[in-house]
Amino acid sequence: MGFSFLIYFALIILIPIWAQLKVKGAYKKYSQVPSSSHMRGAEVARRILDTNGLYDVTVEETRGQLTDHYDPRSKTVRLSSENYHGHSVAAAAIAAHEVGHAIQDQVDYAPLRIRHSLVPVANIGSNFSWILIIIGMLASLSNLVLLGIIFMAAAVVFQLVTLPVEFNASNRAMDQVVSLGIIRNDEEKEIRKVLDAAALTYVAAAAVAVLELLRLILIYTGMQRSE
């Protein structure tokens, strides 16, 4: 049991670290490779938005590194300074990816809607579930542990729904930068490496969440047997 726990503990620590190293490595490499179009990330985003009729979506600069995101509430694509001003392959890839989310919003992409609806439930689940689980384990109350597991399951579902949302946004990004001539054919592989590396962070988060949920289910079933 002790060895199995060490393997499990190593997995939940190493998987996210590995994913982060992959994305940072790909970003660092391709942020130094200028794109053939020499368009800034902000220009790439604006070009794709306008081509898709999303004139009401704004593009803004935001602080930090790799803090890029799309805000559906304010209809805003926010790009970190390096990607907003950068002319690199990485800047083009990330800008296009975030616009991919704006296009999803425009076409009412179902997984995106489901993810948005799960946000409050997932927040409650991730913050409140451990309180119930720890109290339940300390007090040997299996029903309380089960309730915590149910809350945590909501957060896991959110992580799983995030996967198709992110992969679909990347696919839309690739389609746009290719069809609009923002990149050359020989740059497609480089763009894809940046997008795939970024997707790994979501895959890693989902994998860790599922592993943790399975471990807690095993703990709960063990408590049930002892009762």
**Residue 98 annotated as catalytic:** yes
User: In the structure encoding, which two tokens stand for residue 51, read together?
Assistant: 């081509």
d(CA 120, CA 112) in angstroms, rounded, equals: 14
| H or E segment and range at residue 78 | strand 76-80
Catalytic residue among 43, 82, 98, 166: 98
Core vs surface per residue 21-36: b (16+ CB within 10 A) or e = ebbeebbebbbeeebe
How many degrees, rounded to 5, is the angle at CA 122 between CA 118 and CA 125? 145
d(CA 213, CA 151) in angstroms, rounded, equals: 10
Active site residues: 98
